[in-house]
Structure 1
């Protein structure tokens, strides 16, 4: 299922979204799509809504249009629809092509993709240095040749990245509508169906190698003029091959391929008409050989690494789809004996009468507990009326020092005298700062509280074998060790609806 335009509009990481969506046990259902958006930071709610009520929907919503998840955006009297392509429909066309499924969403600050490192700024700096050097030290024709080389490098890199699932707005804007009905613009048909394979490299990969090598050789013009001219003459074969494939094999023309052909033709004309051949130089020949070997090796290396990563992601997606199967999770959850806690007057949050109860056995001084509390707070925020949460801080008066006693007393005072949000904010503040005095200040009291319920609760935890922290207890059942705590997001809705689990 393709929804590039939708993913781009929401500014999500396409690879991460595809991986999470494909690994969902209910893939490719609406539930899987909704859960994946939630996981990526786009809060949403799904509805089955008759078309007569669609006029009441927000300006933006997600629907299934032409059997594909699509972003629908009201634009005047019509609707802009974003899926694998962008299109405009009137009200009647939208209703005809859509199911009753609608998904209302709200983006959070974490929704945008955040790459570990963005190479494009560095690439632009290198391009700027090459262009500056070319226009200030070389002839206008040599500089123009280098401009064409850099254009070829950029387009080839976009194609290279797109091969591994990264969406390219540049390629998309050049190719336009790449649907099956628009064969004249069928970039995907030409690029993705490329059957060339030399050490795993496609014809488009050699375009990247070629232009990168020429960009480097162009810096040494006119000393490398005869070598550059030789390469441009050889490029005639590549032009002829590409045109043959497009015209007679695939019977579809690719705009981005035609653009690269235009760049090659432009360099051919410049080299023949304006480059003066220089005497043969062994040094220039050795430089060319070393340069081409380095560029070829680099492209081959990154191609193999990214191919392996893509293969692993597909394999992991299948494994996770199995792991995230609710029935399997439930069987693991119910495998251990149910834990019955004694009633204690401690920190209970959410809806105390809710059928779904989450207990978190924790310790304020446990470094790993911070993430567990974040998950708990996220569940409370999303399901305030459907979940009851108990924070079970381990505390022993014999082993606890004065600081811990003061901290727990402050927490209890905040819990008893202030709203739930203030208490959660204080707990969050503690895990961020680890400053007991700040929590005491937030409580407004330094008087010691009765902590005997926490002592009894800790004994209860110990008797149940809950000695490590953090631990999640779901309706009395310990969260399975085979799963990460974050996996609870994949099962929470089904757990709440499962009458056998209540």
Structure 2
């Protein structure tokens, strides 16, 4: 057989034909980046990630006529195994352009089938994004066409309708760049080597654009314009222009600031932002031309009504944005969970590949010991380390869950002559008086103190830290850190092995729980016998 499609192509083709939309690039990344690639498992995990119901089973050749009209099977092609999309019509099996009889199909069929259930309600990812993008664009187009068709406007008013519609579409696309999604006009962002929409809109070099993103302002502004243009069907357009004159003139300094930021600060151009700015300048010219030739009047009632519309749109967008970001956060958590669940074996291998370090432990050390412990976690920390706080919070959770299976050892990486050593002495004393649980809660509280409270606590610690019995272990710990080239905190060591740099420290809690429980393989909706079938 002369087949051109890869296994990934076959699955994507099947999903597309079934009307199940997924992000193709993300699907390929999920498959190729899988530790078990190439295997049935990597495709199963990718389908699970997108919420697509499926099952994988071993089927004897004599039952091939019981298969559904469309399925994916492992086929023998020129001596190699290949995952192929198969269409069955009675006793004829079609693979790409090749049609096979039942007997011929049985000869190449390797008795492994991947069946995808066409439950569109469960399809996630790009399918939903695809719908939202096109529905929002279609809605804007319908509103614009409606206004243009039934309204009795001047040429200037028609220009406002068209520019507001285009501006809203561009503003939505700009927002999509901020959340890492490519849109229908995202090709504008790649017209030159100096243009990078994503880099500009995600930049936080100026706090003002972090608090008031340019895309948010544009979405609210253009949406309000379109809604109020409906109102102008019954009201003279001059009333609307009277209200918006101040806003349109205010857009000039804001847009100028945006141009300066892109040019001098970020040194990259956001072509979507520049397109919005051009639209604002066109509208400014229209407003300026009309203000010279027409007289304007707006009543207090109209002013308050227009302002209420703007405020409602602003708060509606804030709520919509919250839901969008919450949905994205859920998607990221799901992606991380799936990635974690299939990485535990690699983590264990990477951990044990690191050379074992001789961690110093004496009777003076800060250590929680369990008589049944299977593993030991050592945390190299510092009292003023901002990144250490989250690690210690995770340790508290791990301690509650697996304290019988895990020893926890705390090391301070401080020069014995520094002020931080007073804090290390204080906490060594505190640990030996109160035990690990109380000590760790107090250490977390110390790390979360505000500046005014911290200053008072430091004075108290300096006065009370006159016990130097812990200096020996502090010096030994400092020497250990220098010998092991440990210059940053937090540094994590598990069973004497440094935490693998290939893995995210934020996943520490997951890996510790998996190691302690001894369960590194999640349950999958596939047969255990064939889950790791490679091809």
Q: RCO (CA 8 Å, sep 6+): is it higher in 1 or 2? A: 2
